[in-house]
């Protein structure tokens, strides 16, 4: 597919500067782009490539000043990075719309309710009572359990497993290998030292516009629901335990884990490999640094914590600064001790 600079500008509400008829058919990084490709410039670090790139069309911030002539057509927007993301999303939607139909072999139970313009890939398995919305894409080798509900415009990538009774909202994306609704880690210790499994009879509810990365796991609730609220974004290799609640527009980076019954507020940001214990609450807007271990509730909104156990981010930086200066501090203390000993000796004499 080929688009002109004018057509692209209409899609992202930009203004063309230069040849509005310049056309592109693919995307490229500004430092590597070739003729016929679209690039963008958002980071000043790459500004030098603006004047040397072979890209035919470039999305730039409306405040971008030109230090020399640019061969490409420019599309000026308030935020080049955001506009480029919007454009990629629209392009992806166009590609997805072309993917429809049911590939064979696949298993779709007779009781499945199917929306319009649905794609089901080969070797996918849709169980009894499944409800699939409009424009849903279920890629090969996916398993959709009994009575699962999938909303409109949602994409289930290859090898995803969604256990029975789970609910997936509209405009969600679940990447390859992720498991939704596996049993929560519930075992009751017995007098003889063994553990008795506690049945996990709840489900997972994923609201609209949620994205989950590859090989993540979201456990079903013991009773009730594990809930991922609208707009949350979960990276690859994340563990969400039973009865956890993830707030609206919360983002969690790779290899982080959230233990059972913990509630994350809205707009929380969690760095990679962070660990959060169970049965606590994290206030709205909290920021948890990578590899932090959070062992108690964060009650003040917009707090930032780091370390293990995690504590206030600013205080942690001060502590680190003091730690780096310990050798010098030790040296000064020893000098002061010598001085005190000399003064005492003089006083005695």
- Predicted TM-score (pTM) of the model is 0.80
- CB-based contact 309:294 (threshold 8 Å): yes
- CB-based contact 194:158 (threshold 8 Å): no
pLDDT tens string for the chain (349 positions)?
Answer: 899 999 999 999 999 999 999 999 999 999 999 999 999 999 999 999 999 999 999 999 999 999 999 999 999 999 999 999 999 988 887 777 778 999 999 999 999 999 999 999 999 999 999 999 999 999 999 999 999 999 999 999 999 999 999 999 999 999 999 999 999 999 999 999 999 999 999 999 999 999 999 999 999 999 999 999 999 999 999 999 999 999 999 999 999 999 999 999 999 999 999 999 999 999 999 999 999 999 999 999 999 999 888 768 787 777 777 788 888 888 899 989 988 888 888 877 6
Give the pairing type, strands 167-168 and 125-126: unpaired
- CB-based contact 144:106 (threshold 8 Å): no
User: Rounded distance, CA 157 to CA 343, Å?
Assistant: 77
User: Rounded distance, CA 177 to CA 180, Å?
Assistant: 10
For tokens 């963008």, name the residue: 40
Cα 227 from chain centroid (whole Å): 16
User: Rounded distance, CA 34 to CA 87, Å?
Assistant: 19
What pLDDT score does 209 carry? 98
The three-state secondary structure class of 342 is helix
The yes-or-no answer on residue 107 being catalytic is no
User: Rounded distance, CA 88 to CA 31, Å?
Assistant: 19
Question: Which of the residues 49, 139, 242, 279 is marked catalytic?
Answer: 242
Peptide bond into 309 cis (omega under 30): yes
Burial class (CB in 10 A: 0-12, 13-18, 19+), 273: middle
What pLDDT score does 281 carry? 98
What pLDDT score does 349 carry? 67
User: Rounded distance, CA 80 to CA 9, Å?
Assistant: 12
């Amino acid at each position: 597919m080929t688009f002109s600079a004018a057509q692209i500008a209409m899609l992202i509400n930009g203004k063309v500067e230069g040849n509005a008829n310049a056309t592109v058919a693919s995307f490229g990084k500004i430092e590597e782009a070739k003729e016929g490709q679209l690039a963008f410039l958002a980071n000043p670090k790459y500004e030098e490539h603006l004047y040397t790139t072979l890209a035919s069309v470039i999305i730039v911030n409306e405040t971008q000043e030109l230090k020399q002539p640019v061969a490409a057509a420019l599309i000026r927007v308030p935020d080049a990075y955001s506009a480029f993301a919007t454009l990629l999303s629209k392009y992806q939607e166009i590609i997805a719309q072309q993917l429809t139909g049911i590939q064979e072999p696949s298993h779709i139970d007779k009781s499945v309710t199917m929306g319009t313009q649905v794609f089901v890939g080969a070797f996918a398995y849709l169980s009894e009572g499944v409800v699939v919305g409009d424009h849903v894409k279920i890629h090969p080798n996916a398993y959709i359990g009994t009575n699962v509900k999938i909303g409109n415009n949602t994409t289930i990538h290859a090898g995803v497993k969604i256990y029975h009774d789970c609910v997936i909202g509209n405009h969600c994306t679940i990447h390859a290998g992720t498991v939704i609704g596996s049993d929560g880690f519930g075992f009751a210790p017995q007098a003889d030292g063994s553990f008795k499994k506690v049945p996990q009879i709840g489900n997972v509810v994923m609201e609209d516009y949620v994205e989950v990365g590859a090989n993540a796991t979201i456990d079903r609730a013991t009773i009730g629901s594990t809930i991922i609220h609208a707009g949350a974004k979960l990276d690859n290799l994340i563990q969400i335990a039973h009865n956890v609640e993830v707030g609206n527009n919360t983002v969690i980076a790779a290899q982080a884990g959230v233990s059972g019954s913990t509630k994350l507020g809205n707009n929380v940001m969690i760095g990679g490999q962070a660990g959060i214990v169970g049965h606590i609450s994290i206030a709205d807007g909290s920021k948890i640094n990578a590899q932090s271990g959070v062992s108690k509730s964060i009650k003040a909104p917009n707090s930032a914590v780091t370390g293990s156990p995690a504590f206030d981010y600013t205080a942690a930086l001060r502590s680190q600064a003091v730690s780096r200066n310990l050798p010098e501090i030790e040296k000064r203390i020893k000098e002061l001790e010598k001085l005190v000993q000399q003064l005492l000796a003089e006083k005695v004499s």
